Structure 1
Amino acid sequence: MGEKFPEIEGGGSLILAWQVRNKRVLVVGGGEVAAGRILNLLNADANVLVISPRDGLNPEVAYRIEQKQVDYIDRVFEPTDLDDPNITMVLTAVDDPEASTQIWKLCKEKRIAANIADVPPECDFYFGSMHRDGPLQIMVSTNGNGPKLANIVRRRIAANLPPNIGDAIKKVGALRRKLRGVAPGIEEGPKRMQWMSKVCLAWSLEDLCDMEEQDMEKLLESYAPNVIPSLEQVRLGEEPGVWQFDGSFGWY
């Protein structure tokens, strides 16, 4: 067997994009950590329930409640709060270790995914340091070893990204949707994926960001012959690989 395969490196996490849109998520606590968790959940379009005494609310959490961006119960957590069958995730951010561990155990009994802030052994998942630019999300995780270091690494990565990369990604998404309209068949799936990959490799991020609606329509005409014209060729109406005389001469 001459093939070489990746070596297994244990100790990591399976990093996923967890879709919680319109799903019920319970946040226990109302302090600064809870505020960050709530913002992450609302950005993911979750249906958030906050349980915390009002005198323990962070100003940001109080604002979310006042604006009715979350549902709110003004008291400490009670075990019966987990009887709601719609709860799919629980996040705790309280300063009471015993109460947090009790919630963790209850979640395990009910098979509900939970994150107990600052207690890695009592977490089904971790929150990493997140960079967001429109549809682009980049998460850096240290698997609970160094949250502050994750933040430093995330900032360094973000500093090296083009400032318009979010717009470029939005336009690629629009092009993909248009392509499905041009070639909707299931059998076209592999070709669609390959063609889109070629576009992303052939065009620069700047080209993708500059791409307009009419450019997309012209570019899609190249799907059937399975070629990738440049943005300049698209705008000039040229075919890929075809030289066109521009009136200049290469000799003297």
Structure 2
Amino acid sequence: MSESFPEIQGGGSLILAWQVRNKKVLVIGGGEVAAGRILNLLNADAKVTVISPRDGLNPEVAHRIERKQVEYHDRRFEPSDLDDPHITMVLTAIDDPEASTTIWKLCKERKIAANIADVPPECDFYFGSVHRDGPLQIMVSTNGNGPKMANIVRRRIAASLPPKMGDAISKVGELRKRLRKVAPGNDEGPKRMQWMSKVCVQWTLEDLCEMDERDMDDLLQSFAPDKVPSLEQIRLGEESGEYHFDGSFGWACVV
């Protein structure tokens, strides 16, 4: 029998959530583009070093420097700046194509991932348009073809989400933590994963946004019989079908 598999669509990027917490990132430039890059990096808890003459600083970048949110060097880039073995990535945002290309080549020699602003061929990775709501991050990338289009698409996606979607995701994270206390054994791992998947699929996004701590506790009582009652059933004190909660974790009685 022939099987159907997804067709390969070349020309894309591998979109990843790059963990740069406590890692050193070098930003060369201090203008408006650099300001956006720096904010993204600080939101990801990176250790940011900025190199730029002070007379070229954007007000936001100057604010980050004044608040000591970044390490700052008031000068132009020097090749020796790349000698630090702890540098994870380099971002350039300067109005000098020749200098940018030189930095790109130096990064390639040292095998350091780099992004040269507005020069897609000289980028190991791209910055997309990002929607952020607490733990929720949604990135739209056009692979360097249309940054403004990425922004438009991202706004439309964000507008379609329920309010406080980030809070809902935080609540799901809390539910998972509580589930581990209810069923801590490693042998329960597959069942925990399957049950959490059922909750996320069977409950609407609006239900997850509305869920409170008492709802979590009541919902967890359905784990042992492997049931997923609705939010309405939980608040009415009942479960669909054959089970009735007795108020304790781990078991239910047939009625």
> TM-score category by the smaller chain?
over 0.9
How big is the shift at 1:243? 8.7
How big is the shift at 1:186? 2.9
Give the AA of the match of 1:164.
Answer: K
Deviations 1:119-172 (A, max 9, x none): 101100000111111111111111011111111111111121112211111111
Name whichever of 228-237 and 131-140 sits farther off. Answer: 228-237
Structure 1 equivalent of residue 50 of structure 2: 50
Q: Determine the C-alpha separation between the residues in 2 that align with 1:116 and 1:180.
A: 44
Give the AA of the match of 1:2.
Answer: S
Q: Determine the C-alpha separation between the residues in 1 that align with 2:182 and 2:105.
A: 52
Q: Determine the C-alpha separation between the residues in 2 that align with 1:176 and 1:210.
A: 17
Q: Determine the C-alpha separation between the residues in 2 that align with 1:102 and 1:188.
A: 54
How big is the shift at 1:232? 2.4
Structure 2 equivalent of residue 106 of structure 1: 106
Change (3 A) 1:148 1:49: same
Q: Determine the C-alpha separation between the residues in 2 that align with 1:215 and 1:152.
A: 37
Q: Does 1:137 align with 2:128?
A: no
Q: Does 1:160 align with 2:197?
A: no
Change (3 A) 1:243 1:190: closer
Aligned residues: 244
Give the AA of the match of 2:128.
Answer: G
Give the AA of the match of 1:200.
Answer: C
How big is the shift at 1:41? 0.5
Structure 2 equivalent of residue 191 of structure 1: 191
Structure 1 equivalent of residue 93 of structure 2: 93
SS at match of 1:232: helix
Q: Determine the C-alpha separation between the residues in 2 that align with 1:161 and 1:233.
A: 24
Name whichever of 233-242 and 4-13 sits farther off. Answer: 233-242
Structure 2 equivalent of residue 211 of structure 1: 211
Structure 2 equivalent of residue 11 of structure 1: 11
Structure 1 equivalent of residue 252 of structure 2: none
Structure 2 equivalent of residue 76 of structure 1: 76
Q: Percent identity?
A: 80
1:169-248 aligned within 5 A: 169-242=169-242
How big is the shift at 1:213? 1.2
1:115-130 aligned within 5 A: 115-130=115-130
Name whichever of 233-242 and 136-145 sits farther off. Answer: 233-242
SS at match of 1:22: coil
- TM-score, scaled relative to structure 2: 0.92
Structure 1 equivalent of residue 66 of structure 2: 66
Give the AA of the match of 1:129.
Answer: S
SS at match of 2:15: coil
SS at match of 1:158: helix
Q: Determine the C-alpha separation between the residues in 2 that align with 1:182 and 1:74.
A: 55
Deviations 1:86-110 (A, max 9, x none): 1101100001111111111111111
How big is the shift at 1:242? 4.1
Q: Determine the C-alpha separation between the residues in 2 that align with 1:243 and 1:101.
A: 67
Change (3 A) 1:152 1:239: closer
- TM-score, scaled relative to structure 1: 0.93
Give the AA of the match of 2:218.
Answer: K
How big is the shift at 1:23? 0.8
How big is the shift at 1:173? 1.0
SS at match of 1:49: strand
Structure 1 equivalent of residue 253 of structure 2: none
Structure 1: where are the runs of 5+ without partners?
A: 245-252
How big is the shift at 1:183? 2.3
Structure 2 equivalent of residue 247 of structure 1: none
Q: Determine the C-alpha separation between the residues in 1 that align with 2:125 and 2:180.
A: 35
